[in-house]
Structure 1
Amino acid sequence: MSYVSLLGRPSRLFLVNLLREERGQGPFETYPYKHLLPEIFPTAETHQPALQDFEHVDPGHRALKHPNPRAFLAGATSISHLTPAIGTEVRGVSLAKLTSDERDELALEVARRGMMIFRGQQDFIDAGGEFWKEFGSHFGRLHVHPTGGYPEGLPEIHMIYRDQQTIYYESDKITSIQWHTDMSHERQPPGLTFFFLLAYPETGGDTLFASGVTALKKLSPAFVSYLRTLKQVQLGVDINVLNRGGKRKRYSRRDCVTTVHPLVRRHPVTGEESLFINPECTQSIVGYKKEESDMLLKFLYNHIASSMESQARVRWEPATVVAWDNRNCLHSALFDYAGTPARRHGARITPQAERPIPADPTLDLSA
């Protein structure tokens, strides 16, 4: 039996078998989070219809009316900004104990800072799947990944797992960095997103973040005005594309989605504009020939990747939860620990938000 997929990656079958075989032996024998390994993958029997549109009310709107929209940080023992543009690290605030109003304030603060790191969140992590679902649902409808694996009973929690046997790189790339926004091809992509690692390397495996707001501000006003007029086609590539031939249809929950989004979107609460592109999903600019589209997108991708003023880096520590606004940030994991025995095992809580709002209100997204 071959365990290698068409892309040179380990196949889903290999990952599932590997995890199941090791759960009761070797390094998994005493692993405290083995019950949260992503074991269950889609089959033909679990194929689901396309996601339906829903009305999203961002919790940050409610926080704008609070006497102190940052009241949830009152008990913090330390608050420090990673960079002027993006990222704030907080200690002394328990996410698990936030009230409904404080959760609203959290949504507003993350929208303003782009990304926040909360240290000392063991109570949040230990609360488990049902709590994670309840917590995430406060911020929007929970997204179920179209192809990813999940633990028993938790399809709404997206699990990631990599170790020296399952980590991979694309053979034709010199770096593991892949800037992206999660599930941006959906009609209503995720908004406020939470991620935490249950296991991580002693060194390496960091997560990088980039502000689409700051990246846009670095461009000239005339060029930004032009970008506001553009629309992009996004496609849920991943395994869905490979399924077109039918050979791997069993690993897809939903049919592949193609969506038209603005290239520049406006945040519904802060009003800030940001570049909204995704090298993993953006296929083309509407109305442009391929060479024209590729040229412009390559420039914008390179701009985001090289604009250090727009970036921040998260180094993982025990009991850390990172929250970011998927509408105005890109991110990338680092697989610089490849070849070591370390594992990187984490969970993402992914509430969906509104359909992207064009910075240009006259932009027609119907085509």
Structure 2
Amino acid sequence: MGLQVKELPKQTPLESRKPRSDYYYISEESSKLAKHPEWIPTWDLNQEKRFENWEPFRHTDRGYFGDPTFDSLFADADVKTRKLTPRLGTEITGVQLSSLTPRQKDDLALLVEQRGVVVFREQDFKNQSFEDIKNWGKYFGPLHIHPTSGIPAGHPELHIIFRRGGKESTKQFFANKLNSSTWHSDITYETQTPGVTLFGMLQTDVGGDTQFLDTIVAYERLSPTFQKLIDGLKVVHSSREQALHAKENGGIERKPVIDSIHPLVRYHPVLKKKALFVNRGFSRRILGLKEEESEALLQFLFHHIETCLDAHIRAQWDDKTVTVWDNRRLLHTATIDWDDDTLRHAFRLTTLAERPIASEEEFNEWTPEAEKEELDKKEETLSLTPAEFYEKYYKKD
């Protein structure tokens, strides 16, 4: 069979080839740039709609078991830590993530939740086996399988980022855009969304930083009046556009499209704080509001969050850096700021956490059984008019 060329989804904006009937690969030219060919992304057509979205489960957050002194995690005398800002982000050397004990992993979970994002230098994570990496992540929660992204062949739990530079590629990217910022929290369309997330760099050069922004601070900046206005509102998060985009560009859908209803203001059960839980990538409409009202409020919140750069850090990469963050409280964006023909090749391991909830009371009362009942009537809920939704969910006796 001759090679058939098709475009891949824009998250991997490269030409692809189809050497046999059941796999898409990146081009041979691009493959030759990879220093770690075992991590090259593939798309297995046999995985089309093969996986289901997670059934409701009770999450056990390892942060509850962490020691706030972090004595176990920082026991080695060679450990060095540096705060990136007073409230957000820490950089660490002297801790090898792949070698952590269960007790140290509990400390790690608490540290990541308290600091939001932790940047680890001099890591050997990428040299571990795929199974060892996945088993490491399972300690923190079930592993997410991305519906559309490239994966190392046979390992759908590992999401691959493979982005090549070049003046023509950069010019094309910015042809219709003023900047490369796409602030988001990962896969918030899932019923139970990510908590601890690991991102390991395989190959990079100067540029391509990842920026992080704290939505706890973004919520706390709002006036008490505005906080009261939005507390309790519900937002629809959807995978529809992502799935459609992937199919239009030659990709696959490993799971059915999903729409989920989440609180606009989310309660973090370990930190006992509230955060804004909306992002341009997946938040589509606020239930109980008319279209124009929902759009105006969402656009205000998006603009507020994305300009809150005094609650922000910028993580710089080298090929031995691993970053771990809490997807419940942070938004992040890639930075497309290089135009030479160098490669940014990385992987993401995403663990699922609790169902997003609006308050401590709701968290304590939540059960998988009650959640299943809500999911069974989700389509009916989504079809309610703003007035009907208000009467059923917002109106107080």
Q: CA deviation at 1:77?
A: 2.9
How far apart, CA to CA, are the structure 2 residues paired with 1:41 and 1:272? 41
| Structure 1 residues 67 and 317, CA gap change in structure 2 (3 angstroms) | closer
* Percent identity over paired residues: 34
Specify the alignment match of 2:191 in structure 1.
187
Specify the alignment match of 2:51 in structure 1.
48
Q: CA deviation at 1:4?
A: 5.0
Specify the alignment match of 1:330 in structure 2.
331
Q: CA deviation at 1:261?
A: 0.2
AA aligned opposite 1:221? P
The worse-fitting range, judged by mean Cα deviation, of 143-152 and 71-80 is 71-80
What secondary structure is seen at the aligned counterpart in 2 of 1:135?
helix
| Structure 1 residues 236 and 17, CA gap change in structure 2 (3 angstroms) | closer
AA aligned opposite 1:19? I
Instruction: State how 1:190-229 maps to structure 2 within 5 Å.
Output: 190-201=194-205, 203-229=206-232
| Structure 1 residues 46 and 362, CA gap change in structure 2 (3 angstroms) | closer
The worse-fitting range, judged by mean Cα deviation, of 51-60 and 172-181 is 51-60
Structure 1 unaligned blocks of 5 or more = none
Specify the alignment match of 1:177 in structure 2.
181
What secondary structure is seen at the aligned counterpart in 2 of 1:350?
strand
Q: CA deviation at 1:51?
A: 2.4
How far apart, CA to CA, are the structure 2 residues paired with 1:227 and 1:352? 26
How far apart, CA to CA, are the structure 1 residues paired with 2:44 and 2:174? 22
AA aligned opposite 2:352? Q
Specify the alignment match of 2:276 in structure 1.
275
Q: CA deviation at 1:314?
A: 0.4
The worse-fitting range, judged by mean Cα deviation, of 231-240 and 347-356 is 231-240
| Structure 1 residues 313 and 70, CA gap change in structure 2 (3 angstroms) | farther
TM-score norm. by structure 1 comes to 0.88
Instruction: State how 1:77-156 maps to structure 2 within 5 Å.
Output: 77-122=79-124, 124-156=125-157
Task: Name the Cα RMSD after superposition.
Answer: 2.9
How far apart, CA to CA, are the structure 2 residues paired with 1:178 and 1:47? 29
Q: CA deviation at 1:23?
A: 6.8
Kept after mapping to 1: 8 A contact 2:12/2:163 = no
Q: CA deviation at 1:49?
A: 2.8
AA aligned opposite 1:341? D
- Residue correspondences, number: 356
AA aligned opposite 1:215? A
How far apart, CA to CA, are the structure 2 residues paired with 1:264 and 1:43? 39
Structure 2 unaligned blocks of 5 or more = 375-380, 382-397
Q: CA deviation at 1:241?
A: 3.1
Specify the alignment match of 1:37 in structure 2.
40
1:233 matched to 2:236? The reply is: yes
| Structure 1 residues 277 and 52, CA gap change in structure 2 (3 angstroms) | same
AA aligned opposite 1:331? H
| Structure 1 residues 194 and 5, CA gap change in structure 2 (3 angstroms) | closer
Kept after mapping to 2: 8 A contact 1:241/1:256 = no
Q: CA deviation at 1:11?
A: 7.4
How far apart, CA to CA, are the structure 1 residues paired with 2:250 and 2:223? 45
Kept after mapping to 1: 8 A contact 2:193/2:355 = yes
Q: Which has the larger radius of gyration?
A: 2
Kept after mapping to 2: 8 A contact 1:43/1:251 = no
What secondary structure is seen at the aligned counterpart in 1 of 2:186?
coil
AA aligned opposite 2:342? A
AA aligned opposite 1:193? T
How far apart, CA to CA, are the structure 1 residues paired with 2:45 and 2:92? 37
How far apart, CA to CA, are the structure 1 residues paired with 2:329 and 2:151? 27
1:21 matched to 2:31? The reply is: no
Q: CA deviation at 1:287?
A: 1.1
1:359 matched to 2:359? The reply is: yes
What secondary structure is seen at the aligned counterpart in 2 of 1:93?
coil
Instruction: State how 1:204-353 maps to structure 2 within 5 Å.
Output: 204-242=207-245, 251-337=252-338, 339-353=339-353
AA aligned opposite 2:119? I
Deviation digits for residues 271-322 of structure 1 (CA, Å, limit 9, x no counterpart):
1111111210000111111211111111111111111221000011231110
